[in-house]
Every structure is written in C-alpha cells, then in structure tokens.
Structure 1
Amino acid sequence: MKSDPKVLPLPEAQRGLEIEGHSIDFIEEHERTDKLSTQGPFWFVGNFTFFTMTIGFVGPSVGLNAMWTMIAGTLGIMFGTLFMAFHGSQGPHLGLPQMIQSRAQFGYRGVILVLLATLFVFAGFNIVNLVLMMQGLHTLFQWGPMQVALAVSVPATLLAILGHDWMHKTFKWSLFLSLPLYGLISVAVLMGWIHSTPAAAGTPEAVALGFTWTGFVAQFAAGASYNIAYAPYVSDYSRYLPKNTSSGKLIAAVFVGASLSGAWMIAVGGWLAEHLHATDVLVALNAVGASFAPQLGTVVVAVTILAFLPVIAMNIYSAKLTTITGLDSFRKVKPTASVRIWAILFVVLLQLGVAIAINASGSGLSMLNMYLVVMLYFLVPWTAVNLTDYFFVRKGRYAIPHFFLPHDNIYGHWGSRGLVAYLIGFVVMIPFFTIYNGADEVFVGPLAKAIGGVDMAWLVGLIVSGVAYYLLCLSLDLEKEEKLIRHIESTSPHFSTGKTW
C-alpha cells in the first residue's frame, strides 16, 4: 500500500486491486510514478461527457443560436481553463492536494471557509449529474431515482475508494468508449444526418435564435465557470508527478486537454439545443442514436453513462479530500485508508440524499444554469487569492511540514490576509450578481441591471480579490518564511520546493 514510504511501489503491471493509502498527506518523490503524458488525456476525458453538452444548452436558452453558443462557450472554456491549468502546476511542485496548500493563504483553520465552497462544488457537480441522469433515464426507460442512484453511485464509489491509480486507468478506458461515440455524433451533426425537429408553439425554443450580448456573456460565463470549477481538483491528480516535471509543459497539457474536449462538447450541446430543442441531454442522445438504428439509441445512452462513471468518482474523490482537510483543521486526522473510505461514504450519502430530494422537486436545466453561476461566484475569489499567492507573493516557496502542524505553524490558525481578500472580492461581486432560475429572476444586483443584465461579477471578483490579496501581503515577512524553508530543506531535503518562480 502506498502509505508506507519505506516500500517502493510495484510496477503497474504487478499491482492488483490496491487501495490508495494516501489522502491529504505529502507524496514523497519515490512514490511519484505518474507521467506527464497522462495529464492531457486525463483532463480531456474529464470534459468529454454528456454533462458538458448541457453547458451548450445555456446559450439557446437565453437567445443564442448554435454558432454563437459554440463561439461564446469555446472562449469561456479557454478562459476558465487558464486558471485550472495554472493550479495544476502546483501538484508536482508541492506534492500536496490543492486545498491543503490553501492553508498558506487562509490559515490552518481559516481554510474551512473555502473548503465549504469547494465541497459545494464537488458534491454539487455530482448532485446535478445524478438529477440529470434520474430525469433522463426515467423519461427513456421509466427507471426510478433509487435505481439510477445505485447503478451509478456503487461503481463510482468503489472506484473512488481504490483511488488515484485506478482513476487514471478507468479514465483511459472511458476515452476508448466515448471517443467513437461522440465522434459519430459530431460527424452526424456536421454532415446533416440528423434532422431538426419542430418546437412546440409558445415554448422558448420556438423563438428565433441569433445573437444577444446578454446571452453571449451568459454562455461565456457558464463555460468559464465549468472549468474554473476544476481548479480545486487539478493538484489532486498531478501530485503524483515527479517534482522536476516541467511546469510549462504541464500547464499546456492540462489546458489543451480540458479546453479542447470542453469546446467540442459545448458545440454539440448547442446544436442539440437549437435543432432538436433538447432540454434533456440523455433523451437527445437517445434520439440521435435511434436515427441510425432503432436500438442504437439505448446503446448510446448506456455507453454515455458507463463512460461518465469515472467523472462521478473523481468528484467523490476530491470531495473526500476536502472533507478530511476540514476535519483535520479542527481535530488532527491520521491520513489512513480507512479514513478515506469513511469520508467517501459520507460524501456519497450526502449527495444521494440531496439529489433524490431535488429530483422529486422536478428541477432540471434551470437548476443547472443557476448552479453554474453560483458555483463561479464562490470559486472566483479563492482562485484569485491562491494563484496570486503562489505565483506573485510566495512564488512557490512553502514550508510544507507546517501545513500539517495544528499549532505553532508559520501560517497561523486564521490567515487574515486571505480571508479578508476573499470576503472583499465576494462582497464587491454582489451588486454584479445575475442569478436566474430559468426565466425567473432570483437576484440581479443593481450594477448588473445598470449594464443591461450582463453578468460581470466573476471578472470583478477575480480582479478585486487578487489585487486586494497582493496589497495585503506587502506587509508579509517573506524573509522570515524563507529562513524557515531553508532550514527545513537542509534537514529534510525531500520537502524542498525548489527555486522561486
């Protein structure tokens, strides 16, 4: 088991169903057996799913046609992936899960603020995914919500328990399954093999679609938030890379993989929404498959769900790390395999209960739109603070053992600079909030109304939080930290964080 640092890992071909022993602890160099070449395909598969297609439903729901949905979604995905990719470079450099490293900005206990936000993202993604599958499979095959929950959650939970290595293996097989499937669907769309269906009179789909700035920005923000939401994940899956991994090459691999598949799926989703008037992606995919052969629709849906299971497991895995980090912030937790398993079961039961309750309420695409926007609002101040600290303030230099010291650690219990910068950014965003539940206004801030309802809150939050944190850190005693880091490196070289950026 990987948790024993004295035992070198077996070659991959000799491993069985080995349960990962690590959770929130430091990964030593001899255990970092991943390869840079796996990162691009891994993050490509992460976005190469039916759920990403639903992001392309946002544009047509707010007046964009398929072409403008593709353009806005692609630009948004690329923008969000920039932040995601830069976070990924922290994994091999520090050998830590993402949220443990956030203790440097927010403090040993203060990090609980952003942990709650990221747990909302991790569990929330799976909740939305489960609701979409419950609704789609009920419409197509009359499956009950509990049948769907068990069919999806049991294998995904087992995969999350097995851990990091098996996540990478199953993502590879998911690519083999999904690439021919979505390739065929894309070719069918491009060649015009699938014919448009008429919209019901009086429905939003019956309105002629074209271009609106409000719709363009809404689709851009949906794409950006989708991949910014991956920011708290990336180091969790890059921390097993060797320390000397090129940061530039890693950033490029994550960016190309995640943005390429994201843009592809959003484009397909936009076409399905405009031409098939789809509001349920599984029903739409079934119709696409059935247009080739009567039973092919069922095969398309089955392969879609099967290929998506590793993504469900990924959300469970990262939510587990967040849960353990939160517990450890107030009561020291020994990072054993059993702790991982209990944390995973907690996360799974939580998301199952919420998903079943939401499914019973009948919410669907409108819930997805609202969730993506709110998720972006919570994550933007954190990503701005974290990246500003890593690249511009501390420049990659951290006292790694102090991330695990409840008392007398150099980063303190409550990181006032990070917490204040986060709160400043979030509060400044509020007048720019633009939150809708479908066509119904939930909350639109006064400044958002003044600029025509265009959602610029996320951009304001990025700039204000990053600048506020940088200014607050001008009084930070970096020389004191550097002396401590050099002492740690001289006594424990495996904790070295290398040269400054």
Structure 2
Amino acid sequence: MAQQMADASQKKKGGIETRSIDYVPENERHSKVIHQGPFWFLGNFQFFTIAIGFIGPSMGLSLGYTALAGALGILFGTLFMAFHASQGAELGLPQMIQSRAQFGYRGVVLVLIGTLFTFVGFNVVDTVLVSSGLHGIFGWDPTIVALGMAVIGTLLAIYGHDWLHRIFQLCFIISLPLYLMLTVAIFMGEAGGKAPTVALGFSWVAFIAQFAASASYNITYAPYVSDYSRYLPRNTKPSSIIAAVFFGASSSAIWLIAMGAWLATHLGASDGLVALYDAGNHVVHGFGSVIALTSVTALIATMGLNAYSGMLTVVTALDSLKKVNPSVGIRIVTILCLAVIWLAISLAVNGDAIGILFAVLTVMLYLLVPWTAVNLVDYFFVRRGKYAITHFFRPDGIYGAWGKRGIAAYLIGFIASIPFFELIGVYSGPIAEMMGGVDLAWLVGLVVSSAAYYLLSRSIDLTAELPVIAESEQALMQLHNTDHTPEAKAVPVGASV
C-alpha cells in the first residue's frame, strides 16, 4: 500500500521526484546495484574526459606518459569516490547531509561552499566546451547552444533521480559501440593523424599535473556519488556498490583520457569535440557528426546530474541555517536559480578552454580533498557506518550545530596545503616553487586532514551514541509505512520510543 501511495504521488506530480534532502524509507528503495556501473561509466564517457587527456601533451608530456599518469590519477581518485557510494544505500541520504556528523548541523555550510563551487564549475566548463566545440564544427551560435543546454540540464535535474538513471542508461547503450568503433579505427591507423612533429617526453611537473587533474576528475564526484545510490536497498552489500562504481567510473575515464592524449599528440587537438568530429569523419564521412552529437548529449545529461546535486547542496545549506520544508517547489526554484548562475558565468567566460578546465579541476581538488578525508575517516575508521540518522535533521542532536573536530581537521589540512599550491598564472606556493612547479597540495591536504581528524576524534564517546542510534533506528522503522520525513519522526536524545 505504501509503495502504491508513493507511485500515485509521483504520477500526480508528473513523474517529478518528491524526495530531496530527506531520508528515503526502505519501501521506496527501488534501485538496483547493477545499474550503478553503467551510470558512472556514462558519467565520464563524453568529450569532457577526452579534454583531460590534452593537459599532459600541452605541457610536453608524451602520449604514453600522459596515458599512464591519467590512469594512475583516475584509479586514485575513483577509490575515494567509490567508497563514498556505499554510504548512500546504508544511510538513505544525500552525501552532504551525512557530512553533518563530522561538521555539525550548521558547520557543514563550510564544506557546502566548496561542493557548490564544484557543481557550478563543472556546468560552466561543460557549457564553454560544448558551445565552442559546436561553433567550431557546425558554426552554431554559442549563446543559443548554451541556452539549450541549460534548459535540458535543468529539466533533467527537476525530474530527478529516476529520470537521470534512465537517460544515462540510454546514452550508455548508444555511446559504447560508437567509441568502440573509433578506438578500433585509431589502433588500425584509420582515424587520421601523424606522429608529433615536436618531441614530447617526460617531466615530473607535467606528469604530476596530469595525475592531479585526473584524480580530481573523479574525486569531484565524491560529494554526490551517494546521491545516486541512496535508493538502493539498505541491505545491499557495500563491496558490490563500491566495485560497481569503481569499475564503471574508472574504466571509461582511463579509456577516454588515453584517447584524448592520442588526439592531442597525433591530431594537434586543442578542442575535444572538434577532435572527436575530425577523427570520426576520417573513419567514415558523417560518423564524426554522429559521435560528436552523441558525446554532447551525454555531457548535457551529466549537467543535469550536477544541477541535481547542486540543488541538494543548496537546500542542505538553507536547511542548516533555517529549517526548510524539502518540497518539490523548493527543488525546482533552486535548480532554476543554479541554471541562471552557471549560464551567466558561462556566457561571460572567454579564453583558453584547456586552461579553464585545468584551473577549475585544480581548485576543486584543493577544496574537496580535505572534506573527503574527514568524511571517509569518520565513516570507515571512527564511527564505522553507525549513525543516528534522525539526528542529521536536528541542530540539537548528538552531532551538534558545529562539528569542531571536522571543521578543525578540514582547515588544518587546507591551510597546510597552501604552500604546495600550483595554480599556473595565478599563484605558486613557496614549496611548489622549490619543487619546480610540482603540485602536491592535494596529497598534503589528504594526509594532514585524515590524520588530524583521526586524532581529534579519539575524544568522541562512541559508547554514548549507541542508545541514540538504537532509538533512531526504531524511529526509522515507522517510516516504512509512511511518507514523512525523518525530522517529523525524529526522536529526542534520551526519549523513549
């Protein structure tokens, strides 16, 4: 009966998802872990990923070293992303709501700023890349292209979780054979191109830059990967979720970064979409248009992903400052506001797309690495997945309004990494200069924040949390036959159920 009521509610709202930052009860967990792999495979299976492979060659790195650095960076970054994915099924919550356990009900706003920058930043770069690419290929007006992308991405985000999964599965089925054809053509020498005229080799600066950009690419999924696993049944094996996300997200990215490196070194490509078009047309006339437009479609779907999680971030921030009703209305208004922001910035941006891409990814890495370190240490090593879920929605709950340990660990890690920053043309930290421009800020932030939080968390009385967790679980059991949010059923600390 409860599921029928939920289905009826969806139909009345035109198929628009009704959940946002609230807990997903067990009777609404309709997703399957088998869908996670193709979903995250497609998330990286478009020409944005190809452009990541341009970074190394633009700094003098050879094809082989670029592919190696890209693969190692992706494997490293995906490791963190995949472990976050298991939190969605276990907790039934968006990722940033769960971060209240480390940063506090209000303190989480600190890291929400960084994550919102990530979502908006990705959509800005996506829009710039597609607009310039389609203009270069077909002569389409960049402003009209940007507007069309914003409309489609906004609609996907408004319809929400299920529609995003459906569109991603469809794009996956269409895209895979096209990229297989192009890859085979490249290996057989049928995609054009010639050996680079300028000698490319190895340098630590370029290798680390390619590694960091690749690692950042999938680490930036960490703040929202559990947004798309929170509809999985709670008893889903964590290892199966982690494996599906890891292999899905890493395999497509490694593949296309290597392809991007080939396009950069053998075709002199500086625009991923144009390069895809040229290589495809060299195989069969017209194939370039098909694969380019397919790639654009996949990227627009990913923009819907960013807008959806950006909405969850903003609503979480608003709720942290003043309690809000996570209604369909606030979801739609928030998504529309985000679309206006990323569209305005995109239309104002001019300049080198590769430079913009690299700079945005680097800043994202600086902001997100300390957060992912704190969150994962808390989840896997401190509290070991045991949380009082109803207390995520209470400023007076056991996690408090301000999580001093999490905030301190984040800031300590971020500040410690500043001397290692290497933002080309913007800022070069003293230690980065001493190391010849090698950027290790992300590694410093990761290690320092992890160690700081683990040491600070030793004073947490985990035994005192156990009765509250038990009360929370009893309260959640009541949600299985209702359609209410956890805050409506939250059990005060020390109260009996």
Report the secondary structure of 2:200's partner residue.
coil
Q: Is residue 489–residue 495 contact of structure 1 (8 Å, CA) maintained in 2?
A: no
Query: Are the counterparts in 2 of residues 9 and 31 from structure 1 also a CA contact under 8 Å?
Result: no
Structure 1 window deviating more from structure 2 (64-73 vs 91-100): it is 64-73
Query: Which residue number corresponds to residue 453 of structure 1?
Result: 437
Instruction: Say which of 184, 188, 196 aligns to 1:187.
Output: 184
1:87-111 alpha-carbon deviations (Å, 9 max, x no partner): 0000010000000000111111111
2:450 equivalent in structure 1: 466
CA distance in 1 between partners of 2:68 and 2:44 (Å): 17
- Residue 468 of structure 1: CA displacement? 0.3
Which residue is equivalent to 1:394?
383
- 1:414 counterpart (402, 417, 429): 402
Aligned residue for 2:313? 322
Q: Does residue 348 of structure 1 match 2:345?
A: no
Between the aligned partners of 1:494 and 1:69, the Cα distance in structure 2 is 53
1:5 Cα deviation (Å)? 7.4
Rounded to whole Å, the distance in 2 between the matches of 1:41 and 1:446 is 43
Deviation at 1:495, TM superposition (A): 8.1
C-alpha separation in 2, matches of 1:17 and 1:223: 39
Superposed, 1:203-352 pairs within 5 Å as 207-352=198-343
Counterpart secondary structure, 2:127: helix
Structure 1: distance between partners of 2:457 and 2:234: 27
2:477 is the counterpart of 1:493: yes
Q: How far apart are the structure 1 equivalents of 2:3 and 2:404?
A: 35
Change in CA separation of 1:69 and 1:287 when aligned onto 2, cut-off 3 Å: same
Q: In the alignment, does 2:170 pair up with 1:173?
A: yes
Residue of structure 1 in register with 2:369 after alignment: 380
Q: Give the TM-score normalised by structure 2.
A: 0.93
Q: Which moves more between the two structures, 451-460 or 257-266? A: 451-460
Match of 1:69 among 60, 66, 73: 66
Aligned residue type for 2:250: S
For the pair 1:158 / 2:135, whether they are aligned, the reply is no
- Cα offset for 1:196? 2.0
Per the TM alignment, residue 452 of structure 1 is displaced from its structure 2 partner at its CA by 2.5
Structure 1 residues 414 and 16 mapped into 2: Cα distance closer, same or farther (>3 Å)?
A: closer
User: In angstroms, what is the RMSD of aligned CA positions?
Assistant: 2.1
Paired with 2:82 and 2:353, the residues of 1 have a C-alpha distance of 30
C-alpha distance in structure 1 between counterparts of 2:398 and 2:3, whole Å? 26
Question: Secondary structure, in 3 states, of the residue corresponding to 1:463?
Answer: helix
Moved more, 107-116 or 291-300: 291-300
Task: Give the equivalent residue in structure 1 for 2:5.
Answer: 7
Q: Deviations over 1:339-362 (max 9, x none)?
A: 11111101111100001101xx22
Partner residue of 1:203? Answer: none
- Aligned-pair CA distance for 1:37: 0.6
Maintained 8 Å contact 2:130/2:273: yes
Q: Which residue of 2 aligns with 1:202?
A: none
Question: 1:333 is aligned with what amino acid?
Answer: V
Give the deviation of 1:494 after TM superposition. 6.0
Deviation, 1:479, is: 1.8
AA in 2 matched with 1:112: V
Is contact 1:174–1:308 with CA below 8 Å preserved after alignment? no
Q: Aligned in 2, Cα 1:482/1:16: closer, same or farther, shift over 3 Å?
A: closer
Superposition pairs for residues 13-162 of structure 1, below 5 Å?
17-162=14-159
Partners of 1:121 and 1:170 lie apart in 2 by 22
| Counterpart for residue 364 of structure 1 | 353
- Give unmatched runs, 5+ long, in structure 1: 200-205, 497-501
- Unmatched runs of 5 consecutive residues or more in structure 2: 481-497
User: CA–CA distance in 1 between the matches of 2:479 and 2:87?
Assistant: 14
SS at match of 2:321: coil
CA contact (8 A) 1:160 1:344 kept: yes
Conserved? CA contact 1:5–1:28, under 8 Å: no
Secondary structure of the 2:423 match is: strand
CA contact under 8 A between 1:488 and 1:495: conserved in structure 2? no
SS of corresponding position for 2:427: strand
* Range 229-238 or range 474-483, more displaced: 474-483
* C-alpha contact (below 8 Å) 1:400/1:495 kept by paired residues: no
Please tell me the residue identity of whatever aligns with 2:358: N
Query: CA-to-partner distance for each residue in 1:245-301, whole Å, 9 max, x for gaps?
Result: 000111111101111011001010000011111111111111112213443333332
Q: Counterpart of 2:356 in structure 1: which amino acid? A: M
Work out the number of aligned pairs and report it. 480
CA distance in 2, matches of 1:339, 1:480: 36
Q: Which runs of 4+ in 1 moved over 4 A?
A: 14-17
2:426 aligns to what SS in structure 1? strand
Identity of aligned residues (%): 54
1:16 Cα deviation (Å)?
Answer: 9.9
